[in-house]
Chain A
């Protein structure tokens, strides 16, 4: 009992997640800065930002609905503080493994996104409303591949228990090696869930002035950003636990690296991958993101789902062939390579005309 309470507040709960979350935010900002040939902020910058925001005044606009405006960031914080109790961080078993399985984790993340959307909606600002609408559309688009990708390891081992997924990877190798497409789909969906480029339409600074959080200031904005940092850590830890082995102790050259350090190393690597993708892409439209997730990323994850289901082998490869054809067709159509057909037709036309012209010339002459 005492252990659980301490675990919730200090390690691996609230305090630990907050500190590591801020550390991850620093890694993200520093890496982005290096991509852009800048120096980047010092290590404690996220902490300085948080303290600064708490010390500033909270301005609640007249048009906002006070109660929801204030409660929404609190709900985000509560949801992420709860979800880290169900993710394996300190070891292969999560702290409250008997109280929450993968579906619970999944829906707590949805709850966080929902709190963000309600925050934007209740701020009374049209920019906030547009941000809320975009964030919801983005959530719709990323849920489908996320569901499929999350179900792949679940079906592979037949259990929704987070601890069992980590322990089975200890024995059988990382799921990312067995089911790479699902891992890629998960990382792409995670990119959108974390609101990183190319999927940051909800907080498109250049278009809708911070979108959902436009009217937030002071302590409420600090709580929102703290919740976001914690979500960064929680979501990447979830990804590592599902596909990359999770928090397991590793023995390297006689030294046992504790589980949590392994988790942090793996999570930092995934974070750098996410930030790298963000650093080299530009923002897409929300409709394009919707079509991309539903037409490309979902079939990609479905390929691995079909393999994990273990159906009749002909059926499996048949369905995989159909999915691959669908992806290629969509990519072909979307990237406007229909210029290829046009070029082919022009070439034929040119040849035909040249041939008939030669004939006409020879006849005319």
Chain B
């Protein structure tokens, strides 16, 4: 047991990668269960790591602590792992989320022809993501980070749909280009500090606030990478296109959960551990978060494709995290990190619910779906719980993290609080439309016999919904065990008073326990009144829908999702038209055009004639001989 704990950082990276290599050797039916078991094993080891870390370090406020696991040093780059407060909770959550996704995909992938590469890619992405979270060496970090990007490309290509090659290519292009910006930033850091080793960089650079053009440019480049990976504006265009075609578990796990985990983890590390940012950077990053939130949710409001809508909301929630991390005060960072964890749960729940509907009905067009609540009651319940969480409705977990971000924004720059709260309302609007289009509303005839989804999918969604409710009613548990270590790793403490049942910041309070109790008692009283009103009433014949005397409404009389927010579409006609024509793709198109123009220059050397190639060879051989024989 103690051996497992001692080697747990290595194990937690190695188990998924080895399982990824073995997975293709299983049969179709057993491969899914094997992958799930591998994921479960990873989660167990990760939770052991977390528990032992907390046991050793305690959960009181401690100064910056690190625990380096060094192994097999190579030239210049050591394979060293940094097990500190910021990485361990993230690893635990990444393993947990990956396992739930694998559970979901056992049944979901039965509709796909071959899952030989799917499970390998999923396990590989989980393993390398955990590796990236744990690495202490910037080069190692970049290696793992890039492998995750490549697995994303592979997973998108496994989807069904016409645009999948284009979507996969676009995601690879945007994420990889941002990665190159990040690498340039890392090289600048190496030139300044002389090392790639993160704790050493933190000691040199993190001691004083970042200043000077060189370091400022390095910081900016280092921020571009995570922003693209987590899909913040303006580098977000790959996510909706990828979401429309990739298989649901892949999209639910990678862009919605794990990539955001990695992205915001790197952002926090860069801004507060490696560097120490000033107020100007705070405002800039917070503004980026605010713009991301608002623009993405306005785009989501008018979508008719289920997956694209959820993808835009994923972009919008990243805005909350960037805002939280960017605001700088400990309450905000705690809120941003807590929102990161919460987002993983409810976003995955939403993607899985949408995937469940798509699995049974075969379509993701919101204008065609409807009335499925009676057919799929459990899916509807879990989906509604996740929707209420993402909209920040008490007493679910989304409300707690958003409340922390609002309180922090009111204390620093209230404008961001306004934007954050209105985006929350817009999120609620979008999900009301989604719930109405999918579960309520008239049911088309072809979906009359749609059944509930298989149990593994239901259990996966149920686990996520349970976490939403649990983290909402007892937020002290995740805040103390998962978020407090993160804050301690960057040298801050959690400014939330700990009276049992209530959370206190210095300007406000939220008591989930009394509030939930009151809500439940209120529900009970309402149920009592309802029961009283049914005393002595016999059951009459079932009633038809009231249409003012006309016949029952046909399917065409319904409020489809296309018209749900017609006034909003009309008010913002011009921006929506610009966006529809691909206005946000400016950066992507510029990069693509530059690359194409650059390669076109060299295209002329490929003439196809053998003699031209031989002449080039002879010329350069001559130059090489001249240099080798002691020329200039």
The CA of A276 and the CA of B631, in the complex, are separated in Å by: 99
Knowing A107-B394, A143-B425, the reply to whether A59 touches B414 (Cβ < 8 A) is no
Asked whether B422 lies within 8 Å of A144 as measured between CB atoms, the reply is yes
Asked whether A121 lies within 8 Å of B545 as measured between CB atoms, the reply is no
Stretch at the interface among B137-145, B178-186, B510-518, B614-622: B510-518
Across the two chains, which residue of chain B brings its CB closest to A84?
A: B518
Residues of B within 8 A of A89 (CB): none
Asked whether B522 lies within 8 Å of A62 as measured between CB atoms, the reply is no
Asked whether B571 lies within 8 Å of A111 as measured between CB atoms, the reply is no
**In the complex, per-residue mask of B532-567: 1 if CB is within 8 Å of any chain A CB, else 0:** 111001001011111110000100011100011111
Residues of B within 8 A of A85 (CB): 518
Stretch at the interface among A70-78, A169-177, A235-243: A70-78
Q: Does B188 contact A (CB under 8 A)?
A: no
Knowing A104-B510, A108-B394, the reply to whether A136 touches B545 (Cβ < 8 A) is no
The CA of A184 and the CA of B557, in the complex, are separated in Å by: 39
A contact residues, total (Cβ < 8 Å)? 86
Asked whether A148 lies within 8 Å of B418 as measured between CB atoms, the reply is yes
Asked whether B540 lies within 8 Å of A65 as measured between CB atoms, the reply is no
Knowing A67-B377, A140-B425, A223-B530, the reply to whether A125 touches B414 (Cβ < 8 A) is no
Asked whether B558 lies within 8 Å of A129 as measured between CB atoms, the reply is yes
Knowing A70-B530, A129-B436, A132-B432, the reply to whether A158 touches B507 (Cβ < 8 A) is yes
Asked whether B518 lies within 8 Å of A8 as measured between CB atoms, the reply is yes
Q: Does B168 contact A (CB under 8 A)?
A: no
Residues of B within 8 A of A151 (CB): 410, 414, 417-418
The CA of A124 and the CA of B370, in the complex, are separated in Å by: 10
Q: Does B328 contact A (CB under 8 A)?
A: no
**In the complex, per-residue mask of B90-128: 1 if CB is within 8 Å of any chain A CB, else 0:** 000000000000000000000000000000000000000
Interface residues of A in 258-305 (CB under 8 A from B): 285-287, 290-291, 294, 305
The CA of A132 and the CA of B565, in the complex, are separated in Å by: 11
The CA of A280 and the CA of B523, in the complex, are separated in Å by: 37
Asked whether A82 lies within 8 Å of B436 as measured between CB atoms, the reply is no
Asked whether B403 lies within 8 Å of A59 as measured between CB atoms, the reply is no
**In the complex, per-residue mask of B597-631: 1 if CB is within 8 Å of any chain A CB, else 0:** 00000000000000000000000000000000000
Residues of A within 8 A of B543 (CB): 59-62
Asked whether B558 lies within 8 Å of A65 as measured between CB atoms, the reply is no
The CA of A187 and the CA of B148, in the complex, are separated in Å by: 52
Asked whether A159 lies within 8 Å of B519 as measured between CB atoms, the reply is no
The CA of A70 and the CA of B502, in the complex, are separated in Å by: 31
Q: Does A309 contact B (CB under 8 A)?
A: yes
A107 CB, min distance to chain B CBs, angstroms: 6
Q: Does A155 contact B (CB under 8 A)?
A: yes
A179 CB, min distance to chain B CBs, angstroms: 14
A130 CB, min distance to chain B CBs, angstroms: 6
A112 CB, min distance to chain B CBs, angstroms: 11
Knowing A126-B553, A148-B418, A155-B414, the reply to whether A57 touches B540 (Cβ < 8 A) is yes
The CA of A264 and the CA of B557, in the complex, are separated in Å by: 46
Q: Does A192 contact B (CB under 8 A)?
A: no
Residues of B within 8 A of A73 (CB): 526
The CA of A121 and the CA of B525, in the complex, are separated in Å by: 24
Asked whether B530 lies within 8 Å of A74 as measured between CB atoms, the reply is yes
Residues of B within 8 A of A56 (CB): 533
Asked whether A223 lies within 8 Å of B410 as measured between CB atoms, the reply is no
Asked whether A137 lies within 8 Å of B410 as measured between CB atoms, the reply is no
Knowing A107-B399, A110-B425, A133-B564, the reply to whether A100 touches B537 (Cβ < 8 A) is no
Q: Does A16 contact B (CB under 8 A)?
A: no
Contacting residue for A82 out of B371, B435, B518, CB 8 A: B518
Across the two chains, which residue of chain A brings its CB closest to B521?
A: A8
Interface residues of B in 484-517 (CB under 8 A from A): 499, 501-502, 504, 507-511, 514-515
B383 CB, min distance to chain A CBs, angstroms: 12
Residues of B within 8 A of A154 (CB): 410, 414
Interface residues of A in 108-162 (CB under 8 A from B): 108, 110-111, 114, 117-118, 121-122, 124-127, 129-130, 132-133, 136-137, 139-140, 143-144, 147-148, 151, 154-155, 158-161
Across the two chains, which residue of chain B brings its CB closest to A158?
A: B507
The CA of A79 and the CA of B411, in the complex, are separated in Å by: 28
Q: Which 10 residue pairs spanning A and B have beta carbons closest together? A: A219-B533, A78-B522, A99-B511, A160-B508, A287-B567, A101-B508, A74-B526, A81-B522, A129-B559, A143-B425
23 A-B pairs (CB sep. < 8 Å) = A57-B540, A61-B542, A65-B373, A74-B527, A77-B523, A78-B525, A100-B515, A101-B510, A103-B403, A110-B428, A125-B546, A126-B559, A129-B559, A133-B564, A136-B565, A137-B565, A148-B418, A155-B414, A158-B411, A209-B548, A215-B545, A215-B546, A222-B533
